[in-house]
């Protein structure tokens, strides 16, 4: 399991004042600043985008958010076991539907973004990058370790397997796979050189600390099913969680998501 708690104070230090945009758009539900922090469980591929989104919301609403980051499957299991999350941001629709079918949510939530897959390599790699993965197929001889997220835990891992199978690369990678517990850990494997290549989320490849050490190419959408990222409130959601849920569908939030490669 790869789960990380980020405090609001730490995120505010990271995000520059220039990122504090006016919310605009529709009227949002109002958080109660005197209430406890809003507990949000979010898929690991949302980490970079949330470093902007959370401070924007906290400043506008005078509210506080506590994040739990990890693979969607791990977070669902934790919520089912009692994690008091009020809002779940999944990397895939199916995990939200599991909570809804278990009676833990008031409805089936809303799609907030569509994710993109990339083939990621260290900046020094000579592997040819192309949307159809033909360069990867031709250069497999130089790839000893190939990283993907565990397809049993992370939707981006499942989509990676689909793309590799469609291009008949999957059989050749057996014995070379390095599975990350989350898509964030998968990205780390490539950016640190622990793997010669891997498939990850565009949102994480765009993070400055990753972009400085890697290069990537978008993988053709035709090679995998769409990665529809859905969010849902849980039945114990308070006013702050409902306000953040509304905010993530506002023009200001959508603009941030677009910058991180979501659609």
DSSP string, 74-93: HHHHHHHTT---SEEE-SSH
Question: What are phi and psi for residue 194, nearest 5 degrees?
Answer: -70, -20
- Same domain? For 99 and 120 the reply is no
Distance of CA 257 to the CA centre of its chain: 11
Rounded Cα distance, 204 and 194, in Å: 17
- Same domain? For 53 and 43 the reply is yes
Q: Which H or E element spans position 199?
A: strand 197-201
- Same domain? For 212 and 248 the reply is no
pLDDT score at 263 = 86
Better pLDDT: 22 or 230: 230
- Same domain? For 124 and 37 the reply is no
Per-residue pLDDT tens for 92-144? 999 999 999 999 999 999 999 999 999 999 999 999 999 999 999 999 999 99
Band (145; pLDDT cuts 50, 70, 90): very high
- Same domain? For 170 and 252 the reply is no
Rounded Cα distance, 87 and 140, in Å: 41
- Domain total in the chain: 2
Model confidence at 187: pLDDT above 90: yes
Q: Which domain holds residue 215?
A: 115-223
- Same domain? For 104 and 18 the reply is yes
Per-residue pLDDT tens for 38-70? 999 999 999 999 999 999 999 999 999 999 999
Q: Which residue has the tokens 């793997």?
A: 195
- Same domain? For 8 and 102 the reply is yes
Model confidence at 221: pLDDT above 70: yes
- Same domain? For 164 and 249 the reply is no
Rounded Cα distance, 28 and 14, in Å: 25
The pTM of the whole model exceeds 0.85: no
**Residue 88, domain CATH:** 3.40.190.10
Per-residue pLDDT averaged across 142-167, rounded? Answer: 96
pLDDT score at 36 = 84
- Same domain? For 192 and 245 the reply is no
């Amino acid at each position: 399991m790869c789960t990380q708690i980020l405090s609001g104070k730490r995120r505010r230090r990271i995000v520059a004042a220039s990122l504090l945009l006016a919310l605009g758009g529709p009227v949002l539900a109002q958080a109660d600043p005197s209430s406890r922090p809003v507990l949000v469980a979010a898929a690991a591929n949302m980490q970079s985008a949330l470093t902007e989104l959370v401070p924007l919301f906290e400043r506008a609403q005078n509210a506080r958010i506590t994040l739990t980051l990890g693979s969607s499957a791990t977070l669902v299991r934790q919520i089912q076991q009692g994690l008091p999350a009020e809002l779940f941001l999944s990397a895939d629709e199916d995990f939200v539907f599991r909570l809804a079918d278990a009676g833990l949510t008031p409805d089936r939530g809303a799609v907030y973004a569509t994710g993109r897959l990339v083939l990621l390599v260290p900046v020094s790699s000579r592997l040819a990058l192309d949307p159809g993965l033909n360069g990867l197929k031709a250069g497999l001889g130089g790839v000893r370790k190939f990283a993907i997220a565990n397809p049993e835990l992370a939707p981006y891992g499942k989509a990676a397997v689909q793309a590799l199978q469609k291009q008949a690369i999957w059989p050749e990678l057996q014995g070379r796979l390095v599975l990350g517990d989350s898509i964030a850990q998968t990205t780390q494997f490539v950016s640190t050189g622990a793997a010669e290549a891997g498939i990850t989320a565009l949102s994480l490849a765009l993070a400055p600390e990753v972009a400085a050490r890697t290069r990537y190419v978008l993988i053709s959408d035709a090679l995998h099913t769409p990665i529809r990222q859905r969010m849902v409130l849980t039945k114990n959601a308070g006013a702050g969680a409902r306000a953040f849920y509304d905010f993530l569908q506002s023009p200001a939030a959508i603009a941030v998501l677009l910058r991180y490669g979501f659609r």
